[in-house]
Amino acid sequence: MNDGNKIPVIGFGTYAPEYIPVSLSEEATEVAIEVGFRHIDGAHFYQNEKEVGRAIQKKIADGTVKREDLFYTGKLWPTYHSLELAELNVTQSLETLQLDYMDLFLIHRPLSLKAMEKCKDAGLVKSIGVSNFNRRQLEKILNKPGLKYKPGCNQIESHPYLNQSKMLEFCKAHDVLLVAYSALGSHRHKYWVDQSSPLLLEDLVLAEIGKKYNKTPANIAIRYQIQRGVVAITKSYNPDRIKENFKVFDFELTPEDMKTIDGINRDFLYVDIPLFAAHPEYPLHDEY
Ligand SMILES: NC(=O)c1ccc[n+]([C@@H]2O[C@H](COP(=O)([O-])OP(=O)(O)OC[C@H]3O[C@@H](n4cnc5c(N)ncnc54)[C@H](OP(=O)(O)O)[C@@H]3O)[C@@H](O)[C@H]2O)c1
């Protein structure tokens, strides 16, 4: 990232909707660490930091990893945006997680960066970034007089049906890393995805390319992001699929494959939260 800190190119998403037992996030996080995930994407809002933290502590205690091998991302929820509350949000999350620091702390929904800078200065988080910011909002932050730390990344929805090429170009030009959430098209997510949406993981082009390398459409979707310089966050609570999703480091897509995948983009958004749509800073009204 632009502050010199390193971020693993593939992250394990810990969020699951409320109807899924929270205990599964603990088991899934353990499996994820066992199969090789070192980047864990969490948030206060996901209400499972206790379980995720327990899984992390177990894997540290049994010698699978050391704290410094792991990269934990947390997120500041909008109700905590004042200077004091932001610090409280991190310290509470750290306590729940049983960790001393977070590697990356993101503003979950577009608002102010000042409170985040304070958390970095206090040593509670190593890097700061933003999430769900559109170009205008990102530009506003980058041009802010007296900006102390540039956001290291912008975490937004991205996958082959929403490749965010314009945002990626903008981010690269400003040395801000793009982190893709729902990198598998939020597959069959019953909570926030319209069930008539096209299924990314059943895309014939991804399947065809996958056949060449003996890989699944999910592997191709993840590898695509890594090769274009994007960090991919994928969630699964199923041990076989967690393993499958990590098998993306033993093959390389050709420039033609990458172009073909660029060609299936349809600017399709799976994760829309209409609840926020009336807010003046709702990010999705702009083109990107
Ligand atoms: N910053 C934000 O505002 C924000 C918003 C949304 C998400 N996120 C982050 O991104 C993570 C992932 O988001 P997401 O859950 O929407 O998207 P996703 O990773 O694109 O999709 C997850 C869905 O795909 C299924 N799946 C996973 N691997 C699969 C495979 N190999 N084959 C077939 N199905 C597979 C999972 O089911 P099983 O569990 O049954 O495998 C789950 O239903 C979240 O956990 C969170 O950490 C951040």
Each residue of 93-139: pLDDT tens digit? Answer: 999 999 999 999 999 877 678 888 989 999 999 999 999 999 999 99
Kindly give the distance from the C-alpha atom of residue 193 to the centroid of ligand 1, in angstroms, as a whole number: 11
pLDDT reported for residue 137: 93
**By alpha-carbon position, which residue is closest to atom 38 of ligand 1?**
236
**By alpha-carbon position, which residue is closest to atom 34 of ligand 1?**
187
pLDDT reported for residue 111: 67
Closest atom, ligand 1, to C-alpha of 193: 16
Closest atom, ligand 1, to C-alpha of 245: 31
Structure tokens at 181: 């959430």
∠ CA 280-283-286, rounded to 5°: 100
Closest to 4 (Cα-Cα) out of 126, 178, 131, 118:
126
- What's the average model confidence in pLDDT over 65-69? 98
Share of the chain above pLDDT 90, in %: 79
13 pLDDT more than 90: yes
Query: By the 8 A CB rule, do 258 and 235 touch?
Result: no
**By alpha-carbon position, which residue is closest to atom 48 of ligand 1?**
181
The answer to whether residue 46 is catalytic is yes
Task: Spot the catalytic one: 15, 19, 46, 282.
Answer: 46
Kindly give the distance from the C-alpha atom of residue 225 to the centroid of ligand 1, in angstroms, as a whole number: 15
Q: Tokens 């980058």 identify what position? A: 142
- pLDDT band at residue 178 using 50, 70 and 90 as cut-offs: very high
**By alpha-carbon position, which residue is closest to atom 47 of ligand 1?**
13
Q: Strand, helix or coil at 128?
A: strand
Q: Tokens 């379980």 identify what position? A: 51
Render pLDDT for 208-227 as a digit per residue (tens, 0 to 9): 999 999 999 999 999 999 99
Query: Which domains occur in the chain, in start order?
Result: 10-271 (3.20.20.100)
Closest atom, ligand 1, to C-alpha of 75: 1
Distances (CA, A) of 180 to 26, 153, 162, 231: 23, 10, 10, 6
